[in-house]
A and B are shown apart, each in its own frame.
Chain A
Amino acid sequence: MNMKLLKTALVKTLPVMAGYIVLGMGFGLLLRESGYGVWWAFAMSVFIFAGALQYVGVSLIASGVSFISIALTSLMINARHLFYGISMIKRYEGTGFKKIYLMHALTDETYSLVCTDSVPEGVEPHQYYLLVSFFDHIYWITGSVLGSLLGAALTFDTTGIDFVMTALFVTIFIEQWSNTKEHRPALIGVGASVICLMIFGSANFLIPAMVIIMVALMSLRGRLETKEEK
């Protein structure tokens, strides 16, 4: 493994580091407050590795709901991951047994870093994907363990620091926008999400938005593909 690869992956994941450490700490703290200590935080972050579900999971476990509702809640919250896989099939092709880990570690943030076509020059894509996934995972685990251990000793005001995730997605959106003349897919993504957010509300808009995005992109396929070949 060369230094350039390590350095590139580290620099690219720095924003995720900031976000995951902070959000992970929030999770670890919350879990500890409902009576589950550091090993629980560690296990959840290693094996689930999905921010929103882990936060909800704390209250699910604390209230002792049925296993069926836990399964259904997990399904609803994480259904969007079905769509991330679809765009990574080609990029993760030929990674062998490492693919199992790559698939497990495909969070929103990891997806946002590996779905771009511009892997830095002189860096082997598969190793880069693996390292980005692994670094992100380590940040998330570190954050949740720290949150659980430090617990109430944390007094500094971090309100609003979770904006790093929003900012990360905005910068990637801008980068993708500048790299293409075809803006319809991006506009469909924003448009469908805003419309569904207004109709279905913030708790339920993701799935209908994704369905509309898939249908709209499918129906534009002929036009978008011929344009690309020119």
Chain B
Amino acid sequence: MNGNSYAMIAIGIMAGVTFLLRVIPFIIFSKGETPAYIDYFGKVLPYAIMGMLVVYCLKDISFTSAPFGIPAVLAVLLVAVLHLWKKNTLISIVSGTACYMMLIHLFG
């Protein structure tokens, strides 16, 4: 098999598996009324998953070696405080990211 057809099949597999994972929940619950517990998960799961995604973004930070996660922790705090105060998504994100980039430059 030449390189191009190998790569094409590889991409097809990655796309296929990913699409399947995204579609399966909709297929399972496509028939008739959605069960009550799915309504319940639809309500509470976003809160839990957003918490999980925040942790996921910070997963590779090392707190045991320099800079001990300080830039990320400070920048996350800044985003949180700004957002509680101003409630403006763009201001919070731009300030937090600028702060993070400056801090890793300083510590790096």
Interface residues of A (CB under 8 A from B): 11-12, 14-15, 18, 36, 40, 43-44, 47-50, 53-54, 57, 60-61, 64, 67, 70-71, 74-75, 78-79, 81-93, 99, 103-104, 106, 108, 111-112, 115-116, 159-161, 163-178, 180, 185-190, 192-194, 197, 202, 205-206, 209-210, 213-214, 217-218, 221, 224-225, 228
Contact = CB atoms under 8 A, between A and B. Distances in A.
Given A167-B79, A193-B51, A193-B52, A87 B11 contact: no
Interface residues of B, number: 64
Contacts of A86: 25, 38, 41-42, 45
Chain B, interface SS category:
helix
B18 A81 contact: yes
Contacts of B96: 163, 166-167, 170
Given A82-B24, A86-B41, A166-B58, A174 B83 contact: yes
Contacts, number: 242
B50 A172 contact: yes
A188 to B, nearest CB: 5
Contact of B22 (A54, A84, A210): A84
Contacts of B40: 217, 221, 224-225
Given A83-B45, A176-B46, A189 B52 contact: yes
Contacts of A93: 34
Interface string B19-55: 1011111100100001001111111111111111111
Contacts of B84: 174, 178
Contacts of A218: 37
Contact of B57 (A14, A165, A177, A187): A165
Given A160-B97, A168-B93, A90 B51 contact: no
B11 A48 contact: yes
Contacts of A57: 10-11, 14
A173 B50 contact: yes
B15 to A, nearest CB: 4
Contacts of B75: 163, 166-167
Interface in B57-108: 57-60, 71-72, 75-76, 79-80, 83-84, 87, 89-90, 92-93, 96-97, 100-101, 104-105, 108
A60 B51 contact: no
B55 A176 contact: no
B18 A78 contact: yes
A112 B50 contact: yes
Q: Which of A82, A112, A189 has the most chain B CB atoms closer than 10 A to its own CB?
A: A189
A173 B54 contact: yes
Q: Which of A78, A169, A170 has the most chain B CB atoms closer than 10 A to its own CB?
A: A170
A202 B56 CA distance: 8
A71 B84 CA distance: 42
A65 B50 CA distance: 34
A192 B53 CA distance: 12
